[in-house]
Amino acid sequence: MRTDTGQVFRLEDYRPSDYLIPSTALSFKLSREKTIVVAELTIERRDGVAGNPPLVLDGDGLTLRRVEIDGKPLDASAYRATPDELAITAPPKADRFRLLIETEIDPSRNQALMGLYRSNGVYCTQCEAEGFRRITYFLDRPDILSVYTVRIEAQRDEAPLLLSNGNPGERGDLADGWHYAVWHDPFPKPSYLFALVAGDLGRVGDSFVTASGRTVELGIYVEHGKERLAAYAMDALKRSMSWDEEVFGREYDLDVFNIVAVSDFNMGAMENKGLNIFNDKYVLADEETATDTDFANIEAIIAHEYFHNWTGNRITCRDWFQLCLKEGLTVFRDHEFSADQRSRAVKRIAEVRTLRAHQFPEDQGPLAHPVRPRRYREINNFYTATVYEKGSEVVRMIRTILGADTFRRGMDLYFERHDGEAATIEDFVKVFEEVSGRDLSQFALWYHQAGTPNVTVSGSHNASAGEFTLEIEQSVPPTPSESRKRLMHIPLAFGLVGPDGKDIDYSEVDGASVEDGVIHLRKRRHVVRFSGVTERPAVSLNRGFSAPITLAIEQSAGDRAFLARHDSDAFSRWQAFNTLLTETLTAAFRSMLGGRKPEFATDLLHLAGTIAADETLEPAYRALALSLPGEADIAREIGTNIDPDAVHAGREALIAAIAGANRELFTELYGNLQASGPFSPDAANAGRRTLRNMLLDYLSVLPEGVTLAAGHFATATNMTDRAAGLTALVHRHRTSPETVEALAAFEARYRSDVLVMDKWFQIQASTPGPDAVEVVRALMDHPSFSIGNPNRVRSLVGTFASANQTGFHRADGAGYRLFVETVLQVEKRNPQVSARLATALRSWRSLEPVRQAKAREALLEIRSAHGLSADLRDIVERTLA
Ligand code: TRP
Ligand code: ZN
C-alpha cells in the first residue's frame, strides 16, 4: 500500500507531460509469488519541450530488476528508483528512444485488488484509476495514449487461457510446460485500460455482425461449470452492440470482444479495451440464483462497460478531474438503453429513486463535490454517485435543452472531433454549443458547482382574467469550500393539468423563457404568466425529473391526489403520490416523537388501493407507486435531529394502515398475480413479480402475514420470489419458527454458492431493530463470509451500515463500534473498499444529539488509527470537517 503523502491534486495544475509513450510492449512471466514484467517503451519528447528534462515514471510498491535505454544497461548514476517512482535523471537528447524496464511483482499478496492480483486461482488486473503503476513504472495518467503489444507466458496447466486487450496474435508452447500468447491492440489507449487475464476458465462463445458487416467473436469467461449462467449476459451484450449502432451510430472496432467474470473485484465492472473484467455478480444469473433486480443490473452493467468503448476508450479523459466525461455520459447511455429495452417510465422513476438515495445525501453532506471536481487527494474516492449519476443527469439536461435531434448532432460531432483523444468537459460542452448555436456557459455550472439546487414554486389563478401565474425561485445551498453559489440554468419541464386530467393549451406566456413545455430558469426569481387559462389547473412541474433539484411546490393534498391519478407524465404522476406519502411519513415521524399514534387520511389509504388495482398501469409502475419512501429518504426530508427509531415506527405504521385498509383488495390482487408458465426475466414478467412481492410486503404485517410469507417462500420457483418471502419473514417476523426454518432452508440449499449467500447476508443485515448488530457480528463468523472479499463485506457490513437505519444507528453506539472495527480491519487489506464503507456515516450531522456525538466519536477513532491509508483518511477527514 502506498503511504499517504497528504498531497492534494488540483485541476488548475494540469500540465501535459514532457514525454509521450507512443508504443508499449509488455512481456509477463506469470508466477504466483514472483511475476516478472518487462516493459519496452518507446519514449518521445513532446514537440516544443526544450532540452532533456528528467523523465519521472510512476510506480507503486514495485521492485526494479533492470533498466536499459536503447539496448544498454543504464548506469546507476543515471536514474533513481524507489518502489513508487523511477526517475531517469538525464534521458537521451534524441527525440525518441527505447526504455526497457524489468520489474518484479507478487500477485499472490495483492489484497488491494488493484494492479495484477489473483482471484479464485485466476490472474487478473484492475488498472483504473492508478493500478497500472503497481505493474510497471509508467507515465500512469490518462492523457498518455499508447499502442500496446502484450506477450503473456504462463504454465499451461495453471493458465491454459491467456487474454489481454485487442486482437489475438501468435501463440504456442514453450519448454517445461509453459506456453505463451501475444495480443495486439491497434487503438492507442491510456494505461488504465490495460488488462490481462490468465487462468483456467470456461468459455461461452458467440458472434456479432456489425452494421458494416464485420464479424466480431464474443467470449464470456466464467468458472468451469458456470457457462450456462452467462447466457443472459451474452444476450445483453449483443443487444447493447445493436443498440449503440442504432441509437448512437457507434460500431465495435476490434475482431474480438471478451468479458471475464472474477469473484474478487472492487467495483461493478471495468471497461478495459476489448477485455472487460466483471465482478461475477454482474455476469452470472439464472432464475434459481438471481433476482429480477440482478438480471436488470447485469443488463445495465454489460451495456455500460460496452458503451465505454466509445465514451471512455476511443475518447478518453485528459485527467481524472474529467472522470464524468466518460462516466456521466456512459451512465446516461446505459440508462437510455435500459429505458428502450424495458419500460421508459419505470426506468426513469427507478433512476430518480437511486439518485435521491445516493447522490442527494452526498450532495447535501460533507462529501459534496462538483460533477467535475477541482481537487482531490485520492481519486479512488471520486467514483461517486455525483460523478456517475448526477453526471448522467447533466447530459440528460443537455438533451432536454437542445432537443433529441440537435443532441445527436452534438454527439456525432464529439465522436468525430475527439476520436483518439483525451478530452475535457469543456470539449464536450463546446460541441453542443456549436451544433445548437446556444450559449451553455451558465448551464455548465452543473459541472462546476456542487450542491442540489432548491426550487420553490407557488401558483395562483385569476379566473376572471383567465390567467395563471407561477412564481418560481431558485437557490443553491452552500457546500464545503463553496460558500457562495451562482445562479443555475434549470430546465423545468411542466404541464398545467385541467380538471379533465388533460394538459391545458394555454394561449400565451410571459415572464420567462418557456420553450416547448420547458421553463428555463436562469434568474433567482421568475414570474411566469399563462393566459387563456379559464379553470384552475393543477401544476405538474419537473416532469420526467428534467432537472436534479429539490422542488417545494405549494400544492393541496387534493391537487396532488388528482395528479397522482391523471398526470399524463408518468414520472410526475408517480411523484405526486410519492410526495403525498412523504408528507404523511414526516408527519408520522413527528407524531411518534411526540408519543402520539400517527393518523392517516383514509383517502390516501384508498388511493394506494386504487393505484394498486389500476389495470391501465403497468404492474412495475404500480409497485413503484406502492413502494414507500425509504427510512433514509424520510430522514433526508426531515433534515435534522433524526431519531431513526421514530422514522421507522412511523413508516411501519403507514404500511400497516395501508395494508389494513386494502386487505381484501391486496389479497385478491396478490392471488391473481401468481405466475403461470415458464420463467422469463423480461420486464413485463419481472414487473408482475415486483408488484406481487410488494403486495406481500404489505400483507406480511397483517395477522396472517407469517403464514402467507412462509408459504410464499416455500412455494417460490425463482430467486426473486424466494428472496422476497425470506425478506418478509426476517424483517417482519424475526423470531417466529417459520423464519428460523426458512433461514436454515435457504442456507442449506445455497451454502456452496457465495453469490446467493450474499442475499442471505443482506436480508439479515437489513433486519430492522437493535439486534441487527449482534446478528451481523455473528454472521461475520459464518463460513461463507470472508473479510477479504468485497462482495461479502458489502453484502453483510455494507448493507448493515447503509441500509439499516435502526440497527446501524442504535442509540447506544454498538452499531458504530462494529463499523469502526470492520472499517479498520478491511482497510489493512483493501483501502478502497474500506473508504467506500466509511461513507456510510456521511450524514451523521443530521442525527439527534446523542447519536450524533457517538457517530463523531466513531469517526475520530478511525482518524486516530495508526498508518491510515490515503483513501480512508480522505473520507474520514472530509466527513468530520
Ligand atoms: N470504470 C469503471 C466503470 O465502468 C469503474 C471501475 C471499475 C473502477 N473498477 C474500478 C474505478 C476500480 C476505480 C477502481 O464504471
Ligand atoms: Zn463506467
C-alpha span between 661 and 45 (Å, rounded): 75
Contact assessment for residue 427 and residue 418, using Cβ atoms and an 8 Å cutoff: yes
**134, 240, 266, 335: which to mutate for ligand 1, most atoms within 8 A of CB?**
266
Q: Is the pLDDT of residue 862 over 90?
A: yes
Contact indicator for 710, 738 with CB cutoff of 8 Å: yes
Q: Whose CA is nearest to atom 4 of ligand 1?
A: 270
pLDDT at 512: 67
Q: Provide the grid cell at 389.
A: 449519476
Ligand nearest to the CA of 324: 2
Instruction: Indicate if ligand 1 lies below 6 Å from the C-beta of 264.
Output: no
User: d(Cα 583, Cα 554) in Å, to the nearest integer?
Assistant: 12
- Quote the pLDDT of residue 508: 78
Catalytic residue annotation: 305
| Separation between Cα atoms, residue 568 and residue 576, nearest integer Å | 12
Question: Contact, 167 vs 94, CB < 8 A?
Answer: no
Rounded Cα distance between 476 and 454, Å, is 6
Partnered with residue 23 across adjacent β-strands are: 42, 147
* Ligand 1 atom closest to 327 (CA): 15
Residue 662 three-state SS: coil
Q: Are 226 and 306 in contact (CB under 8 A)?
A: no
Which residue, among 618, 678, 719, has the nearest Cα to 342 in the 3D structure?
618
Q: What is the pLDDT of residues 423-432, one digit of tens each?
A: 999 999 999 9
Q: Give residue 372 CA to ligand 2 midpoint distance, Å.
A: 15
- How far apart (Å, rounded) are the C-alpha atoms in residues 797 and 780? 9
Who contacts 605 (Cβ-Cβ below 8 Å, separation ≥6)? Answer: 657, 658, 660, 661, 662
Closest CA to 618 of 348, 389, 285, 356: 348
* Nearest protein Cα to ligand 1, atom 11: 128
Q: What residue owns the CA closest to ligand 1's atom 14?
A: 128
Q: What is the pLDDT of residue 546?
A: 98
pLDDT of residue 510: 78
Beta bridge partners of 495: 540
Distance from Cα 310 to the centre of ligand 1, integer Å:
16
pLDDT computed for residue 3 by the predictor: 58
Does pLDDT of 58 surpass 90? yes
Q: Find the helix or strand (DSSP H, E) in which 220 lies.
A: strand 215-222
Residue-wise pLDDT tens digits, 68-86: 999 999 999 999 999 999 9
DSSP-derived secondary structure letter, 311: B
The pLDDT tens digits for 470-496 are 999 999 999 999 999 999 999 999 999
pLDDT tens-place string over residues 418-472: 999 999 999 999 999 999 999 999 999 999 999 999 999 999 999 999 999 999 9
What is the CA(383)–ligand 1 centre distance, in A? 7
Question: Counting every residue, how long is the chain?
Answer: 881
pLDDT digits (tens, 9 = 90+) for 334-373: 999 999 999 999 999 999 999 999 999 999 999 999 999 9
Q: What is the pTM of this model?
A: 0.99
Cβ of 271 less than 6 Å from ligand 1: yes
DSSP string, 376-410: ES-GGGG--HIIIIIHHHHHHHHHHHH-HHHHHHH
Nearest to 245 by CA among 300, 297, 309: 309
- What span, in angstroms and rounded, lies between the C-alpha atoms of 413 and 425? 14
pLDDT above 90 coverage of the chain, percent: 98
What is the rounded average pLDDT of the residues 140-166? 99
| Contact assessment for residue 43 and residue 81, using Cβ atoms and an 8 Å cutoff | no
Domains identified in the chain and CATH numbers = 316-448 (1.10.390.10), 460-547 (2.60.40.1840), 751-881 (1.25.50.10)
What does the alpha-carbon distance between residue 270 and residue 624 come to, in Å, rounded to a whole number?
30
Q: Is the CB of 279 under 6 A from ligand 1?
A: no
Give the nearest ligand 1 atom to 380 CA: 13
- Give the number of whichever ligand sits closest to the CA of residue 392: 2
The answer to whether residue 158 scores a pLDDT higher than 70 is yes
Cα of 80 vs centre of ligand 1, distance in Å, is: 32
Neighbours of 501 (CB within 10 A): 13
Pocket test for ligand 1, best of 267, 273, 298 (most atoms within 8 A of CB): 267
Predicted confidence at residue 5, as pLDDT, reads 75
Mean pLDDT over residues 774-783, rounded?
Answer: 98
Assess whether the C-beta atom of 129 lies below 6 angstroms from ligand 1. Answer: yes
Edge-to-edge strand list for the sheet holding 115-119: 115-119, 122-126, 196-199, 161-164
Computed from CA positions of residues 373, 375, 376, 379, in that sequence, does the dihedral angle turn out positive or negative? positive
Residues whose CB falls within 8 Å of the CB of residue 483, separated by 6 or more in sequence, listed in order: none
pLDDT category of residue 874 using cuts at 50, 70 and 90: very high
Indicate if the alpha-carbon torsion angle 193, 198, 201, 203 is positive or negative.
Answer: positive
Where b means 16+ CB within 10 Å and e means fewer, 201-225 reads bbebebebeeeeeeebebbbbbbee
Helix ranges (DSSP H) in 170-267: 231-248
pLDDT band at 6 (very low <50, low <70, confident <90, very high): confident
Q: Which is nearest to 784 in space by CA: 776, 792, 772?
A: 792
Q: Is the CB of 187 under 6 A from ligand 1?
A: no
Measure the CA–CA gap between 529 and 815, rounded to whole angstroms: 53
Residues whose CB falls within 8 Å of the CB of residue 691, separated by 6 or more in sequence, listed in order: 612, 619, 620, 622, 623, 626, 669, 673
In which band, very low, low, confident or very high, does the pLDDT at 294 lie, cut at 50, 70 and 90? very high
Residue 1 confidence (pLDDT) above 60: no
Half-sphere exposure of 531 (CA within 13 A, CB side): 5
Q: How far apart are the first and last CA of the chain?
A: 25
Beta carbons of 23 and 99 less than 8 angstroms apart? no
Cell of 674: 401468481
Query: How many CB atoms lie under 10 A from the CB of residue 58?
Result: 19
Q: Is the CB of 195 under 6 A from ligand 1?
A: no
Task: Supply the Cα-derived Rg of the chain in whole angstroms.
Answer: 28
Q: Whose CA is nearest to atom 7 of ligand 1?
A: 270
Q: Are 387 and 362 in contact (CB under 8 A)?
A: no
User: Average pLDDT over the chain, rounded to whole?
Assistant: 97
Helix (H) or strand (E) holding 360: helix 360-363
Q: What is the pLDDT of residue 509?
A: 83
Q: 332 C-alpha vs ligand 2 centroid, how far in Å?
A: 10
Query: How many Å apart are CA 340 and CA 188, to the nearest integer?
Result: 32
CA of 385 to the centre of ligand 1 (A): 13
Query: Ligand 2 centre and the CA of 328: distance in Å?
Result: 8
At 607-635, the pLDDT tens digits run 999 999 999 999 999 999 999 999 999 99
Mutate to test the pocket of ligand 1, among 383, 389, 392, 794 (most ligand atoms within 8 A of CB): 383
Alpha-carbon distance of 394 to 405, in angstroms, equals 17
Statement: residue 513 has pLDDT above 60: yes
The candidate with the shortest Cα–Cα distance to 305, out of 246, 382, 252, is 252
Alpha-carbon distance values, 389 to 192, 349, 804, 857 (Å): 22, 14, 23, 31
CA 531, 532, 536, 542: dihedral to nearest 10 degrees? -60
